[in-house]
Amino acid sequence: MPARAIGTGSISFGLVAIPVKMYPAAQATAAVSFNLLHQPPCGSRLKQQYICAKEEVLVPRNEMVKGYEFEKDHYVVFTPAELKALEEKATNSIDITEFVPIDRVDPVYYDKPYYLAPEKGGEKAYHLLAEVMRESGRTALARYAARGKQYLVMIRPGERGLVMQQLLYADEVRPFAEVPMPDVPAVREAELKLAHQLVDQISSETFDPTKYEDDVKKRIMADIERKVEGQEIEAAPAEEAPAQVIDLMEALKASLGGDGKGAPARKSEASKQTPRRPAHRADETGSEKSGGRKARAKR
């Protein structure tokens, strides 16, 4: 079914303003969700309630206020009017500040993607902007205010039109320097050569997402269907941990076919299976997600 626009706005740079509609690029409904229920024989869905940690009583929503913790267990309370005053005013204008080479934006900053489509009257300018970015290999960085916040976004040309990628701010990304890294021994030339051969043999010039499927989601949905039909689900036996690589050269040669010149060794069926992941904890809304489509129980 056709996508539904979630908002409108305009891309602005210089004196040019391009009216656009915004569409979600990701599908939130693609996750398998489990609701929290009262155990059988009741089976009713549970409701979320808030309890005062000090008085240990249920707190109704009309007695709730929002506060900011400025130091441990000390809060400053805000009224609804004050919270409203703090919000950034929505302008619906995507204001381009600069164009940069697309490979200069580290994907670690990528957050939510959206599709942008031209509104009536903006088609020519829309496609002109997309084409000039394709030819120049550049992407646009912009500011966008909506829902009480200001967002840093990147506009880049996609396969059919423009994609707006919401970005994380610098203070929202943990620097790699904080990750402890052991001392790495020098890589030998022979190892590097074999590694290049292995990479070349399993390389592609394009990314085709249709080649990949979420095998865990398919397995979970199949198990859910069996459960709906009244069958029991048995846990699969734990898979053995892969053997630790002792000799890097021997591992590279084995991957290339034994002598370092043959075709890459094919993965066994066991190695292709995706290991089971532990169940996720329930979130505050009383639902539990594990990466797949939403499962609906059949009555």
The answer to whether residue 268 is domain-embedded is no
pLDDT digits (tens, 9 = 90+) for 209-229: 888 888 888 888 888 888 888
pLDDT tops 80 at residue 247:
no
Residues in the chain, how many?
A: 299
Of 289, 212, 266, 218, nearest to 36 by C-alpha is 289
The answer to whether residue 145 is domain-embedded is yes
pLDDT category, 275, cuts 50, 70, 90?
very low
Q: Please state the domain count of the chain.
A: 1
The answer to whether residue 10 is domain-embedded is yes
The CATH number covering residue 68 comes to 2.40.290.10
pLDDT tops 70 at residue 281:
no
Range of the domain at 87: 1-36+45-173
The answer to whether the pTM exceeds 0.75 is no
pLDDT digits (tens, 9 = 90+) for 120-151: 989 999 999 999 999 999 999 999 988 788 99
Instruction: Report whether 64 contacts 71 (CB < 8 A).
Output: no
Q: How far apart are CA 231 and CA 227, in angstroms?
A: 5
The answer to whether residue 230 is domain-embedded is no
